[in-house]
Amino acid sequence: MVLNTGSCKDKCEDSSDDDDDDEELANTVEKVPIDDMVKMCDQLIAGLEQCSFISEQEIMAIYSIKERLLRQKPMLMRELTLEEAFKTATYHSAETVYV
């Protein structure tokens, strides 16, 4: 759980260097690959299983997230395949027009 300890406005006003803030914002926008997120889930589960104060139900929530990520991967792969097929078809039809 993430707790909000202050408003964004307060944090932004305290900042002294705007260029660094812009770079940090750009870095947070980048998408994390699903494979990397699955690996993070595995590492998190392994670490949480060693903690006696973490319940099995809480660990199962991470398993659930991991499973949802794994279910999304084939869908994304299908999207990429369709996009590639469309690009290839468009490229070939453009070639036939110019030939």
Residue 15 · residue 21 · CB < 8 Å: yes
Mean pLDDT computed over 70-91: 75
Q: Distance between CA 93 and CA 86 in Å, rounded?
A: 10
> Pick the residue with more confidence: 3 or 55?
55
State whether the Cα torsion 49-52-61-36 is positive or negative.
negative
Q: Which helix (H) or strand (E) holds 58?
A: helix 56-98
pLDDT tens for each residue of 38-70: 999 999 999 999 999 999 999 999 999 999 999
Mean pLDDT computed over 77-94: 71
Q: Taking the model in full, what pTM does it have?
A: 0.51
Own/partner pairs for 36-43, CB < 8 Å, 24+ apart?
37/69, 38/66, 38/69, 38/70, 41/65, 41/66, 41/69, 42/66
pLDDT tens for each residue of 13-32: 555 555 556 666 556 678 89
Q: What is the pLDDT of residue 60?
A: 96
